[in-house]
Amino acid sequence: MTRRLEIVPAIDLRGGACVRLLHGDPSRETRYDDDPVARAQAFVAAGARRLHVVDLDGAFGTGENIEALRAICAAVDVPVQTGGGIRSEPDARGRFAAGAQWIVLSTMLVENPTLARALIATYGERIIGGVDARGDVVAYRGWQVETGLRRDAFVRELATWGVERIVYTEISRDGAGTGYDVAALAAVAGLAPLRITASGGANGLDDLRALLEGTPLNVDAAIVGRALYAGTIDLAEALAAFA
């Protein structure tokens, strides 16, 4: 049977608009679209079966985009996963109340593992772990702070908490259009029985093909952002080829 890959379009929100950042740097922003709802609807019209919505203001601690998330969830008939700035139980409940099917925890995993584990126990597979790294060093708080945590040990630890899926981002690739870090993803996928969503770096269909060819079967989804906005990947074509 041909191996398939779920293609998940990304909507990164800052000030209510769709943007992309280079390497997660808030000073290196490209603003693409002032209407995230229309963008979400266009992705769904092209065939997307899940959307990835990130609140960058929440991640940086400079505000929030909960109303934009709520509007997106209400406007589309596919499930939405969301991350960025979820650092308390009310934050988590608020994202679910806004209509998200899944939430991605990252900073909380580092700063408040007790609460993170409690949320995992309560919500099960609706909690996705966000693992963001520069090489083997984990970063958090909008990737602005590096921890003493090492990537591999962190991934193994999350598996013991009951996390079933992680989104793995190699920060140096994010927004750069240089392809996924296939070697890093293959290494992470071999650490624990987790499903892996690849994030950071897609520029063309060859990058998605390389991801499939170079990683184990548990790498079963890929987030695509900048390439969709820049037009170097056509979503309908990617879905037809891989999803």
Mind telling me the catalytic residues?
12, 132
Residue 51: φ, ψ to 5°: -120, 150
Residue 146: φ, ψ to 5°: -95, 145
- Spatial distance between the Cα atoms of 215 and 38, rounded to a whole number of angstroms: 34
Place of tokens 């959307």: 51
Contact 12, 23 (CB under 8 A): no
- Spatial distance between the Cα atoms of 116 and 224, rounded to a whole number of angstroms: 26
- Spatial distance between the Cα atoms of 226 and 19, rounded to a whole number of angstroms: 9
Question: What is the CB neighbour count within 10 angstroms for residue 42?
Answer: 15
Residue type for 215, please?
T
